[in-house]
Structure 1
Amino acid sequence: METLVIVIHVLACIFLIGAVMLQSGHEGMGVIFGGGSSTMFGSSGAGGLLVKVTAGLATVFLVTSLTYNIMTGNRVSDQDSIMMQGKETVQPIVPADQQKPAIQFKDTGDDAKSE
């Protein structure tokens, strides 16, 4: 079932890209006032059919995305992570001469004098 959803999803992606690329771009301010009638589909563009095809393909894309996420999202793996396979914590090996001393704070008593 997952394979079928993935195949439909990939086909929808390819056809959606094609449908978006077929739509005419805007040629500037002249398009707003009715210019740009030299397009392949006439002055109104490919409005009716191409817009509906694009909307349909976008809907298929959304539905297959959500379906695949629901089908595969709640799985619990049988295997442990490779990070969880160790039985003990590994500490880095640092030579004694390169180890930094622990920081210790001394109470100077300045806080008591300021009161």
Structure 2
Amino acid sequence: MDTLIATIHIIACVMLVVLVLLQSGKEGMGVIFGGGSGSVFGSSGAGGLLVKLTAVFGAVFLITSLAYNSYTGRGAKPDTSVMEGAPIEQKAAPAENKKPGQNLFEEQKTPAEQKQ
């Protein structure tokens, strides 16, 4: 079922791209007042047909997006984490008997040696 929804979704995506690219851009204020060039689709251009087809394929795109999301999301458990099986890093243990200002590479002396 998810293959069918994904296939229809991809076809709708490709058709939306093609339909949007086929539409001509606005040429300026002359288009508002009835100006514009004649074309194969008639004096008003292909606007009516392409706008309707774009709306139809946009609706198909929306419906397939929601259907695929609801179909694939039914088996998901909201209380699980994606990090559940991740390995845990072990941090190095802090240096023992380190005094403030003491160099880490300096050899540490025992208390008996420090008294001397």
- Which TM-score band applies after superposition, normalised by the shorter structure? 0.5 to 0.7
5+ unaligned residues in a row in structure 2: which ranges? 101-116
What letter is aligned with 1:93? A
Which residue in 2 is equivalent to 1:104?
Answer: none
Partners of 1:32 and 1:86 lie apart in 2 by: 60
Larger radius of gyration: 2
Partners of 2:86 and 2:50 lie apart in 1 by: 57
User: What is the number of residues matched between the two proteins?
Assistant: 96
Task: From the superposition, tell whether residues 85 and 61 of structure 1 become closer, same or farther in structure 2 (CA, over 3 Å).
Answer: closer
Which residue in 2 is equivalent to 1:3?
Answer: 3
Relative to the length of structure 1, the TM-score reads 0.66
* 8 A Cα contact 2:20 2:54, kept in partner: yes
Partners of 1:86 and 1:28 lie apart in 2 by: 58
Kindly indicate whether residue 71 of structure 2 is the aligned counterpart of residue 68 of structure 1: no
Partners of 2:75 and 2:37 lie apart in 1 by: 54
Offset from partner CA, 1:33-60 (integer Å, 9 cap, x none): 2222244434412133212111111111
Task: From the superposition, tell whether residues 5 and 82 of structure 1 become closer, same or farther in structure 2 (CA, over 3 Å).
Answer: closer
Write out aligned runs for 1:8-23 (5 A): 8-23=8-23
What letter is aligned with 1:58? G
* 8 A Cα contact 1:34 1:43, kept in partner: no
Which residue in 2 is equivalent to 1:96?
Answer: 95
Q: Any runs of at least 4 consecutive aligned residues in structure 1 with deviations exceeding 4 A, and if so which? A: none
5+ unaligned residues in a row in structure 1: which ranges? 102-115
* 8 A Cα contact 1:35 1:43, kept in partner: no
Query: CA shift at 1:3, angstroms?
Result: 0.2
Task: From the superposition, tell whether residues 81 and 40 of structure 1 become closer, same or farther in structure 2 (CA, over 3 Å).
Answer: same
